[in-house]
Structure 1
Amino acid sequence: MPVTTSTIIPVVAPVTGQMINLATVSDSVFSRGLLGAGCGFIPQTDQIVAPVAGEVTMIAKTKHALGFKTKNGLEFLLHLGLDTVELAGTPFRLTVKVGDHVAAGQLIAQMDVAAVAAAGKETTVLLTITNAAERVHALLLAASNQVYPAGTVIAGITLNLAANHEVGTIGPPATSTATLANAIIQAVGGPSNIDSVIHCMTRLRFYLKDASLANDVAVARLDGVLEVARASGQYQVVIGSTVAEVYAAMLPQLGVSADDKVADSSDLPPTQTFFGKVWRRLSQFIGVMTAAMFPIISLLAGAGLLKGVLAAIVGFKLLATSSGTYLVLNAVSDAVFYFLPVMLGFTAAKRLGSNPVTLAVVGAVLTYPALVNAAQKASTAQISFFGLPLMLMNYTAAVFPMIVAAWLGKYVERGLKRGLPAYLQGVLLPILEVIFLCGVILIGIGPLTTYLSQGLANGIVALYRLSPAVSGLIIGGVYQVLVIFGLHWGLVPVVINDLATNGHSYLNAIISLTMVAQGGAALAVGLRARQARVRHLSVAAAVAAFCGITEPALYGFNLKYKRLFVAASLASALGGLVAGLLRVNNYALSGSLIGFPAFITPGVGIGPNFYGYLISHYGTLIVALGLALVLSLGQHFQAKSALPTA
């Protein structure tokens, strides 16, 4: 059938800003053109205008996306920012509703660009033609990387018009929505494996009872599916503009009525059991921790490597600890971990929507030298805050308190905005927020973790005296869980006391092999990942763990891909059992693979204890790597989720 072209249809800039090529957008679903041809804008103002003349056909519940249809049958998607669905509509104010007819360049919305950026989201405004493949003969775009005022013509479109094809009658894909819905259900493990399902603008989001039952390859091959990914505890299937129809067809097949459906991902999905709710919240908490840590993983890994190299150089007497070179390099490696709360406050705040600079200051307060010194003298000196007693602890390298502070920060900020006059907010709000959050940590979270860690330390010491093998199994299996919540600090004084009074520590030998296990699990990512950046980061994280620094492996990969953490925990539990049976001993505050000299018995040299170290530690490495490779079959390791939060 011959194809003819129509006159040129103009498209205007939806916002004043720099126009960018869609291929350069960080979200691969948009950059790969899966949602149609188009372009992006880096906004310079808050005003959003209609890109074309036509009807408003769709508005997301969270106000971050709008759909338009022209009289020629072109369908446009206007997406305000990336991952902005998580902001629940707060930064957006719309002046149109579904069914309204708009003119090109007409004001349709206000987007608080500063608020979006402060929440840690990309502000890029995306404009795509979702039915470009069927309708568009040619798309002529203005020059990229230029600033265009809102309402300025930036593109012209000519249409494909087949002789027997009427405008606006694009048919459904070859696969009907009901058939596609059923095929997806079966490929993710059947109705019994689906805890709940929601949808957003472009994809279905499943909460599965057993994610390992989902067949990624089978789902991805279905006609009508654009992309598959696992992220944020969800199994995500990208459908595109017809996702609502597929979702609606899926509901009756799952035995769910239309009245019960969850229409937007900003709502909480239904949960059938108490344990399901607990697991989901735990997954969300871990997701926040890993997302907050990921931007600084490479820095942590490098610092860990540097610490390991310094330990080896000093151990072989190649460099004195009193030399200036050592002091500077040691400061570089230590500062990254010492001031971890500062960096973590910034990244966690961006992830959770609180003020990043304010939370960085909270981290700085917790690592303030005077407070650190006071914590070291806590057994002999007591201090109070507004009359409330403080039980100080060392918050350097702390993770859990900063995550809680970042989560709490956005609510504190909202409360202060309501309570303070507008003319005082600019001066008083940030400092009052810092004071309140520091007080919560120092009075509440600090004592709680201190009491728990001390209790755990006493219990573990008693258990080890009762049975080294059983305690090795338990400590090896749970130690890195204690690290996640900051409860491992209770064991540090026990180890130091053992080394100071007895000259050795069985407990530190078990802790040492948990580091090896985390490194082994992260190394599996390096062997499996397809992306070069992921391979390089995971190998660096593994080497850092072998040097005694587990944070890059733990937060960068093993918690993000939970099966890896399970593999590492099982391996370290078995390694702890072996270390307990062999009574492996540690003679210095060092460990993992780089700290092998700490397992050479003083006055004896290489003997049974060192051989026990080799068996337990390298055995743990082999088991962790093997288990991680097996448990991660079918797992896709990515530097960043390929899916947009649309």
Structure 2
Amino acid sequence: MMNPENTSREILVAVGGEENIISLVHCATRLRFKLKEHVKANKEQCKNIDGVITVVESGGQFQVIIGNRVSEVFNAIQAITQLGNNDSAAAIKNDDGEKEGLFARAVDIISGIFTPFLGALAAAGILKGLLMMLTALGWMSPQSGVYIIWFAAADSIFYFLPIAIAITSARKFGANAFVALSVAGALVYPTLITLFNNKAALDFFDIPVILMRYTSSVLPVIISVWLLSLLERFLNKHLHDSIRNFITPLICIMLIVPLTLIAIGPLGTYLSLALANGYTFIYNLSPILAGIVAGMGWQVLVIFGLHWAFVPIMYNNISIHGSDTLKPLFAPSNFAQAGAALGVFLKTRNPKIKQIAGPATITGLFGIVEPIIYGISLRYKKPFIWATVGGGLGGAISGFAGSTAMAPGIPGLATLPIFFGPGFTGFICAITLAFVFTAVSTYLFGFNDNMEKEMLANVGEHKKPVKRSTLVAKSV
């Protein structure tokens, strides 16, 4: 069994030590390092660490894929380092001293902002879905105390989403988290919400304030905290040490809050509307074609960690429309990968491959697909191709059915309640087809035990690949 403490120490050595790390976050399966110098990291050494599935360098990040126990390794690293306080807004440079590309930096920023609270959002989304199912079936009344309390628990993080985003954005941009919280808190302050609901007029030194609803909003607070970080650095540079600790926050709150309400907030809201409407326009052109493209392409993006570029679209859709149609399009691809693992499990007679494919099938059904991708489907190639086809077929059905998701969450059996609503039956058909089609296709056409022998012969090794695969089995 993997020892998180030992694994964390070995990973730190492999990435070049704590002094080579700018920041570290984690998602459901990956440690996402932002490194000062990538040349100091030993990718092959890191791959061979007990508990590490593989390593991917993408989006300006050094991504160490662990699997289900990633949070244990992350916590172990935090316990023996000072990385929890190392988030920086400094410009990121690559090994040649040049600034990274805009897309790579955007992916890094998005993942850094959203990953810390994904688990809480997923849990809240599942609870909201369960409550919807219970009330739709007539098993619970919306007026009951149980429903009211559970709904408050489920809806609170969505209602106060700007505050959660403000905290993580402050860490990412290098701003004071509590000042950022004050800015976000003003956006959801009850008095301002009441004025908005009553369609009241408000001005700031005779400058009209466009009142809007910012609960559950995404872009306005991110833009505001980014500007806050710039203002803080400017003030801290020019104010004397004796007054900096309280004058900087004072000036920031006095300037950023009204600036947000007058200009940044409305601008961010209009950008959010434009983004949501733009996606809806493309989706409405052909939901089936959109489903095919998303279902076939999503796992390719996952391989390189580039799927984060689409996360703001999903959050924004939920914020603007109350639901999202993008997640149901790519969700079947997760079940397709699980089907590929099942096909290999049923076809192989190699006990070591069965040790990998069996547990990977189960974790894949619950949305954790990296052990399948790196341990099975990409390893033998054809299972990945069939999973891509299966994901596309499932995505097409979801698009045809108009399936929606009401909350974020990794698509899997545990998160099915977040898809309860329009197109839910079609969504169940989509994931079932993706899973069964890929399992059968992989069993019949996508795998045989000779693939393992041929692969070992091609690389000229007969033991190391098996050892690497065993690591995958342990990590799940």
TM-score, scaled to structure 2: 0.54
Distance 1:433 1:355 in 2: 10
Equivalent residue for 1:438? 257
Q: Which amino acid aligns with 2:417?
A: I
Equivalent residue for 1:346? 167
Matched, 1:309 2:136: no
Percent identity for Structure 1 against Structure 2 = 24
- 2:138 partner SS: coil
Equivalent residue for 2:417? 594
Matched, 1:394 2:330: no
Maintained 8 Å contact 1:401/1:445: yes
Distance 1:404 1:588 in 2: 26
Distance 1:415 1:279 in 2: 26
Equivalent residue for 2:9? 28
Which of 442, 446, 451 aligns to 2:270? It is 451
Distance 2:63 2:279 in 1: 42
Flag the structure with more relative contact order, 1 or 2, with Cα contacts below 8 A and sequence separation at least 6: 2
Maintained 8 Å contact 2:403/2:424: no
**Root mean square deviation, CA, Å:** 6.0
Equivalent residue for 1:584? 401
Distance 1:409 1:288 in 2: 17
Relative distance call for 1:522 and 1:475 in structure 2 (3 A) is closer
- 1:86 partner SS: strand
Equivalent residue for 2:95? 269
1:320 Cα deviation after fit: 0.8
Higher strand proportion: 1
Distance 2:186 2:391 in 1: 35
Larger radius of gyration: 1
Alignment of 1:57-456 (within 5 A): 82=18, 86=22, 199=37, 204-205=40-41, 216=44, 220=48, 229-230=55-56, 233-235=60-62, 268-270=94-96, 277-290=101-114, 293-294=115-116, 296-374=117-195, 383-420=202-239, 422-456=241-275
- 1:594 partner SS: helix
Relative distance call for 1:24 and 1:513 in structure 2 (3 A) is closer
- 1:330 partner SS: helix
Distance 1:384 1:521 in 2: 54
Alignment of 1:465-614 (within 5 A): 467=286, 469-470=288-289, 483-484=311-312, 487-488=316-317, 492=321, 510-511=325-326, 513-514=328-329, 516-517=331-332, 575=394, 577-580=396-399, 583-584=400-401, 593-594=416-417, 598-599=421-422, 612-614=426-428
1:384 Cα deviation after fit: 4.3
Higher helix proportion: 2
1:483-540 per-residue CA deviation (whole Å, 9 max, x = no partner) reads: 51554268517x8xxxxxxxxxxxx7x457248458759989x99xxxxxxxx9xx99
Maintained 8 Å contact 2:294/2:392: yes
Distance 2:405 2:178 in 1: 39
Q: Which amino acid aligns with 1:513?
A: P
Q: Which amino acid aligns with 1:616?
A: A
1:462 Cα deviation after fit: 5.7
Relative distance call for 1:442 and 1:336 in structure 2 (3 A) is same
Gaps of 5+ in 2: 26-34, 65-90, 299-306, 343-358, 379-384, 409-414, 441-445, 447-464
Maintained 8 Å contact 1:416/1:429: yes
Distance 1:511 1:445 in 2: 27
Distance 1:220 1:470 in 2: 40
Maintained 8 Å contact 1:341/1:396: yes
Equivalent residue for 2:77? none
Relative distance call for 1:617 and 1:430 in structure 2 (3 A) is same
